[in-house]
Chain A
Amino acid sequence: MVSEFLFHEAESTKAENTNYINLKIEIRELLKEPVNRKLFSEILFDLQKDVSGETLNRLHKLYVDLGLDQDAFAKLKSWKWHVVSKGILELTKMEVPESYGVIKKYINTKKGVIRKQAEIATATLKHEGINYFLDTTTYKISEWQQLKLLDVLRNFEDFQPPRFKVWFTSNNKDVVLFALRLAKYYNQNDANTSITELVKHRNNQIKTEAIQCIREFNIVEAVEPLKNIFWKCTVNIKLLILGAVASLGKEEDVVFLQLVANKDSNFTVKSKALGAINTICPESVMPTKGIDEKLANSSWKEVMEFSEEYILVKPELIKNNELLEEETDITADITEASKEVFVLPIKENIIEDKDLVANVNDIEVFTEEITPEVNEKEEETINFSESANTNLNFETSIDSSPIHVESLENTFELDATEHSENINDITVVFEEILQTNTPSELDLPIEESEEGIDTSEDDELEKELNFLPIIVDEETFSNNIIENEPEQEPSVIHFDEEEILIDFLPFIVDEQEENVAVTGIEVIYDEIVADNELSTQETVKQEESLLISLLKEDFDLDFIPIIESSTENKLIKDDTAEVADTIEVVEAVIPKAMFPEMTFEEEAKQLLDDIEEFGDQREVSLLNELLENEEYNHLSDRIQNILKKFNDNSNSSVPENKDLKHFCVFEDLFRICDTEAKLILMDEIVAVGDEKEILFLNSLLEDNNINISSKAEKLLKELQNKMMVQNILPIKNTKTISDEKVSDEYSRLMNELEIKPADSINFFDVEFEFSDEVLPADESNEIADEAEKADQASFLSNICSFSHKIIDKFNG
Chain B
Amino acid sequence: MLEKKKLLLAEDDELLASLLNFRLQKGGYDVTLSRDGKEVKESLALAIPDIIVSDIMMPYFSGIELIDFIRNDLKLNIPIIIISSAGNEDNVLSAFELGANDFISKPVNPSELLVRVAREMNKM
Task: Give the interface of A toward B (CB within 8 A).
Answer: 2-4, 6-7, 43, 46-47, 49-56
CB-CB contacts of B94-112 with A at 8 A, as 1s and 0s? 0000000000001111111
Counting chain A CB atoms within 10 Å of each CB, the highest count among B13, B109, B110, B111 belongs to B110
Contacts of B15 in A (CB 8 A): 43, 46-47, 50
**B contact residues, total (Cβ < 8 Å):** 15
Bound complex: CA A51 to CA B17 (Å):
11
Known: A46-B15, A50-B13. Contact between A56 and B22, CB under 8 A? no
- Contact among B19, B109, B111 with A47 in the assembled complex (CB-CB below 8 Å): B19
> A50-B15, A50-B19 provided; 15 other pairs, C-beta below 8 A?
A3-B18, A3-B19, A3-B22, A3-B23, A4-B22, A6-B19, A47-B15, A47-B19, A50-B106, A50-B108, A51-B16, A51-B108, A53-B110, A54-B109, A55-B111
Which single member of B13, B18, B109 contacts A52 (CB below 8 Å)?
Answer: B109
Contact of A7 with B16 in the complex, beta carbons under 8 Å: no
Instruction: Write the nearest CB–CB distance from A162 to chain B, whole angstroms.
Output: 28
- For A52, the closest partner residue in chain B by CB is B107
Chain B residues near A (Cβ < 8 Å):
13, 15-16, 18-19, 22-23, 26, 106-112
Min CB gap A1→B, angstroms: 10
Q: Is the CB of A7 within 8 A of B109?
A: no
What B residues does A46 contact at CB under 8 A?
Answer: 15
Instruction: For A55, give its contact among B13, B26, B110 (CB under 8 Å).
Output: B110
What residues on B are CB-neighbors of A7 within 8 Å?
22-23, 26, 110
Flag if B109 contacts A55 (CB, 8 Å): yes
A100→B106 CA distance, assembly (Å): 28
B111: A residues at CB distance < 8 A: 53-55
Which residues of B are found within 8 Å of A54, using beta-carbon distances? 109, 111
Closest 4 CB pairs of A and B: A53-B109, A3-B22, A52-B107, A50-B16
In the complex, 17 of the A-B residue pairs with CB atoms within 8 angstroms, ordered by the A residue number, are: A3-B22, A6-B19, A47-B15, A47-B16, A47-B19, A49-B107, A50-B106, A51-B16, A51-B19, A51-B108, A51-B110, A52-B109, A54-B111, A55-B109, A55-B110, A55-B111, A56-B107
Report how many A-B pairs have Cβ atoms within 8 Å.
44
Q: Which of chain B's residues has its CB closest to A56's CB?
A: B107
A51→B22 contact, CB < 8 A: no
Q: Which residues of B contact A50 (CB under 8 A)?
A: 13, 15-16, 19, 106-108
Chain A residue, CB-CB nearest to B18: A3
Distance between A589 CB and nearest chain B CB, rounded to angstroms: 92
Q: State how many angstroms separate the Cβ of B39 from the closest Cβ of chain A.
A: 20
Inter-chain CA distance A3–B23, complex, in Å, is 8
For the complex formed, measure the closest distance between the CB of A12 and the CB atoms of chain B, giving whole angstroms. 9
B104 to chain A, nearest CB (A): 10
* Cβ–Cβ < 8 Å partners of A52 in chain B: 107-109
Quote the shortest CB–CB distance from A367 to chain B (angstroms).
Answer: 69
Residue of B13, B107, B112 most packed against chain A (CB within 10 A): B107
- Residues of the B chain whose Cβ atoms lie less than 8 Å from the Cβ of A55: 19, 109-111
Give the shortest distance, in Å, between B83 (CB) and chain A (any CB). Answer: 10
Q: Give Cα distance in the complex from A4 to B23, angstroms.
A: 9
- CB of B86 to closest CB in A, whole Å: 11
Most buried by A among B15, B16, B108, B109: B15
Cβ contact within 8 Å between A53 and B112: yes
A58 to chain B, nearest CB (A): 10
The distance in angstroms between the C-alpha atoms of A4 and B22, with both chains bound, is 8
Nearest CB to that of A55 among chain B residues?
Answer: B110
- The residue in chain A whose Cβ has the minimal distance to the Cβ of B19 is A3
Q: Which residues of B contact A2 (CB under 8 A)?
A: 19
CA distance A472 to B15 in the complex (A): 89
Which residues of chain A are near B22, meaning CB under 8 Å? 3-4, 7
Taken together as a complex, chains A and B put the C-alpha atoms of A14 and B3 apart, in Å, by 24
Which chain A positions have C-beta within 8 A of B16?
Answer: 47, 50-51
Q: How far is the CA of A2 from the CA of B22 in the complex (A)?
A: 10
Least Cβ–Cβ distance between B111 and chain A, in angstroms = 6
Give min CB distance, A677 to chain B, whole Å: 81
CA distance in complex: A6, B20 (Å): 11
Docked pose: A3 CA to B108 CA in angstroms: 14
A7 to B20, CA, bound (A): 10
Docked CA distance A43–B14 (Å):
11
Contacts of A43 in B (CB 8 A): 15
- Chain A proximity of B110: nearest CB distance (Å): 5
Chain A residues with CB under 8 Å of B106's CB are 50
B26-A51 in contact (CB<8A):
no
Per the bound structure, the CA–CA distance linking A611 and B69 in Å amounts to: 114
A6 — which chain B residues lie within 8 A by C-beta?
A: 19
B-chain residues with CB within 8 Å of residue A56 when the two chains form the complex = 107
What A residues does B23 contact at CB under 8 A? 3, 7
Name which residue of chain A comes closest to B22, CB basis: A3
Q: How many Å from the CB of A723 to the closest CB on chain B?
A: 95
Most B CB contacts (10 A, CB to CB) among A3, A50, A52, A53 go to A50
Cβ-closest chain B residue relative to A46: B15
B94 to chain A, nearest CB (A): 23
By beta carbon, the residue of chain A nearest B21 is A3
Could you tell me the distance in whole angstroms from the C-beta of A651 to the nearest C-beta in chain B? 107
Instruction: Give complex CA distance A209, B19 in Å.
Output: 47
Give chain A nearest CB distance to B18 CB in angstroms: 6
B19 to chain A, nearest CB (A): 5
